[in-house]
Amino acid sequence: MQKEIDSFISYLHNVKKTSDNTVLSYQRDLKKLRAFLEEKGIRTTSDITEASLKEYVKSMSESGFKPATISRNIASVKAWYHYMTSNGMVSADISVGLKAPKIEKKMPEIMTLTEVNSLLDQPKGDSPKEIRDKAMLELLYATGIRVSELIGLKMTDLNLQSGMIVCRDSHKERVVPFGSTAKNAIVRYLNDSRDKLVGEGKADTLFVNCSGEEMSRQGFWKLIKYYTKKAGIEADITPHTLRHSFAAHLVENGADLKSVQEMLGHSDISTTQIYVNMNHNHLRDVYAKSHPRH
């Protein structure tokens, strides 16, 4: 069984060029499946049955896993079986009968403009770290990019003259504009901070940690938490909250959906549509509170 899993992971890496985070997610899910099956005495793919796969899904539900986690695991199993059937490793795709649980779509948490301003105003000092933090927070809200894209930016991805950054993932790249506030923060970082953080190193990453190396996701997560607390914001703010807020504020101020989709890098415009729905909900709330004959 492990041989087929390894072959699938290698295919994702080398042929599909799937992102590292996605590949790790598949690996974790399939490792969990293998452990469950081996505990049941099933050690080869030919011994796996549709019933044993359904039992695995049932066990996750009984163990209290969230519907989103169960759905992701099912998607991993289905992708693995699609690969195996396509390559003649198994005779039939027995994963087709697996049903994902219904997931309630939650509206993303959005910061108010006051909260955004309060958070972005927190790094006030002149230390190299605070100057860097200010530039990172300003750029994150100015562009709505993912935290992985922010920490992965190279010096060559930044064009200060045009006010653009280039974001890349394993499938495509996109160009995202940023405004003068973020530009000023980045210029100050490049002039007064980056060289001090890099030291003797030769990092090509735009934003570096205090050791002069690429910052980790966890490192930036802690940074957000620190400044959220400092700003006195009680809501649970994550890097993705700033991304959602960026999109919602653009739509609320009249940006067209196609442009927002392109900036966010959504492959399907229906994913971006949620911000329009949020705006409609906001307008209904305003109407309910303000109209004299509601």
The CA-atom distances, in angstroms, between 3 and each of 21, 33, 43, 112, 134 are 21, 14, 11, 50, 47
Q: Quick one: residue 199, left, alpha or beta (phi over 0 = left, psi -120 to 50 = alpha)?
A: left
Which pLDDT score, from 0 to 100, does residue 291 have? 45
Strand order in the sheet with 173-177: 158-159, 164-168, 173-177
Which pLDDT score, from 0 to 100, does residue 104 have? 64
What type of residue is 150?
L
Separation of alpha carbons 244 and 246, rounded Å: 5
The sign of the dihedral angle between the CA atoms of 38, 43, 47, 50 is positive
Which pLDDT score, from 0 to 100, does residue 286 have? 42
CB-based contact 245:110 (threshold 8 Å): yes
SS3 145: coil
pLDDT in tens, the chain (294 residues): 899 999 999 999 888 888 888 889 999 999 999 999 999 999 999 899 999 999 999 999 888 888 888 999 999 999 999 999 999 999 899 998 888 887 666 667 788 888 989 999 999 889 999 999 999 999 998 888 888 889 989 999 999 999 999 987 656 788 888 989 999 999 999 999 999 988 877 778 999 988 888 888 889 999 999 999 999 988 888 888 888 888 888 877 777 777 777 777 776 666 667 677 665 554 455 445 554 554
Which ranges in the chain belong to alpha helices (H)?
2-14, 20-39, 50-62, 67-86, 113-120, 128-143, 147-152, 180-192, 194-198, 217-230, 239-252, 257-264, 269-272, 274-290
- For 12, counting Cβ atoms within 10 Å of its Cβ (0-12 exposed, 13-18 middle, 19+ buried), the class is buried
CB-based contact 33:56 (threshold 8 Å): yes
CB-based contact 248:279 (threshold 8 Å): yes
CA 103: distance to chain centroid? 19
Q: Give the list of residues 6+ apart from residue 262 with CB closer than 8 angstroms, or none.
A: 174
Strand 164-168, strand 173-177: pairing: antiparallel
Take residue 274 and report the two structure tokens written for it: 């949620």
Phi, psi at 159, each rounded to 5°: -125, 95
CB-based contact 26:9 (threshold 8 Å): yes
Buried b (16+ CB within 10 A) or exposed e, 173-189: eeebebeeebbebbeeb
- DSSP letter for 294, please: -
SS3 28: helix
